[in-house]
A and B are shown apart, each in its own frame.
Chain A
Amino acid sequence: MKSMNKENLAKIKKMLTVAYYEKETVEIGESWKSRVMASIQDLRPSHQVDFIEVFQRILWRLVPVACGLIILLGIAVSQMNLISDYELVDMMFEDPADYSLLALNGY
């Protein structure tokens, strides 16, 4: 099959390149911008979940809060009148009659 020579192809290429760049411009109006922004608002950036990043960003920020909570809980527990198992056994040995009354009441 015969094909066009290089010179002719170069001429055609020149014309096609001009035509390629001679494209009509489009008017980008406010409505288009609003439409794009509305679509963007419906989306959220698809963050890839990186455990280390999450740990650094969030978990470390929670450390002071956690420490504060531990201290508060410690104070609260010390203020409460809780009876431990050790204290219950101690009470039984010291006053068996009182313990049997507690046992009868379901304690």
Chain B
Amino acid sequence: MQHDSSLRPDDTEIIHQILDGHTDAFESLLIRYQELVSKIVRRHVPHDDITETMQDVFIRVFQSLPSFRAKGDFKHWLTSIAVRTCYDYWRTVYQSKETPISEITEKHQEWLESVIHGEHGTLIEEKGSCEEAKEILDWALAKLSAEDRIVLELIYLEGHTCKETAKLLGWSVANVKVRSFRSRKKLEKILSEVMGIY
């Protein structure tokens, strides 16, 4: 069963050691899961803030260890903390109104048009093309709220189900469904505006 195999016996042992006051044992968890956390964080957070956010994730994991149930899936629990930390990162950024919104130029509009007309159909891996896609994506996501952004990333871009997303964020499924629908509509509207479709 996937549920049982994902919790390696040493994880529980390490957690018990940490809770008994052997904080050095946390390094084992750090080494074991830094790659997983890095993979999650770098999808959601700008490059310059990845290491700091990863540090926040592990500090949060350490502080929350007493609430972890030994029978649970540690990997899933850790993933959930990582996603929530990324969400909190954007909440803080939006609250401080420091969201960098890059400019959309004619180059980006042309790129979108070329995608629609199928010019990039076989050039997905093309370096320059990908850079423009990244810039448009960052620009569009920066126009959304932190809630819409995280839901859009998890469902629309990563392909998680509403149920999985709800579990990761600790929200209700109904809330995620509504958020997902609205955020997708907002993104479509933003992209339509770039294309000049009114």
Q: Which residues of A are at the interface with B, using a C-beta cutoff of 8 A?
A: 1-4, 8-9, 11-26, 28, 32-33, 35-37, 39-41, 43-48
Chain A: minimal CB distance from B104 (Å): 14
Contact flags B91-131 to A (C-beta < 8 A → 1, else 0): 00000000000000000000010011010100011000110
Chain B: minimal CB distance from A32 (Å): 6
Cβ A19 vs Cβ B130 within 8 A: yes
Cβ B38 vs Cβ A25 within 8 A: yes
Chain A: minimal CB distance from B22 (Å): 11
Residue of A nearest to B157 (CB): A20
Closest 10 CB pairs of A and B: A19-B133, A19-B134, A20-B157, A8-B116, A3-B192, A26-B50, A23-B42, A15-B133, A16-B137, A18-B124
A8 to B157, CA, bound (A): 16
Chain A: minimal CB distance from B102 (Å): 14
A14, A16, A21, A22: which has the most chain B beta carbons within 10 Å? A16
Q: Which of A11, A20, A35, A39 contacts B118 (CB 8 A)?
A: A11
Q: Which of A1, A4, A28, A43 contacts B63 (CB 8 A)?
A: A43
Cβ B137 vs Cβ A26 within 8 A: no
Q: Which of A4, A25, A33, A44 contacts B191 (CB 8 A)?
A: A4
Extra contacts besides A3-B192, A15-B120, A24-B47 (6): CB < 8 Å: A12-B115, A15-B115, A33-B27, A40-B58, A40-B59, A45-B62
Chain B: minimal CB distance from A21 (Å): 7
Cβ B51 vs Cβ A26 within 8 A: yes
| SS class, residues of chain A in contact with chain B | helix
Cβ B137 vs Cβ A14 within 8 A: no
Q: Which residues of B are at the interface with A, using a C-beta cutoff of 8 A?
A: 18-19, 23-24, 26-27, 30-31, 34, 38, 42-43, 47, 50-51, 54-55, 58-59, 62-63, 65-67, 112, 115-116, 118, 120, 124-125, 129-130, 133-134, 136-137, 153, 156-158, 188-189, 191-192, 195, 197-198
Cβ B137 vs Cβ A11 within 8 A: no
Residue of A nearest to B59 (CB): A39
A sample of 12 cross-chain residue pairs with beta-carbon separation below 8 angstroms, ordered by A number, consists of A3-B188, A11-B118, A12-B112, A25-B42, A36-B30, A36-B58, A39-B55, A41-B23, A45-B18, A45-B19, A46-B66, A48-B67
Contacts of B59 in A (CB 8 A): 36, 39-40, 43
**Given contact pairs A18-B124, A19-B133, A22-B130, A37 touches B30 in the complex (Cβ within 8 A):** yes
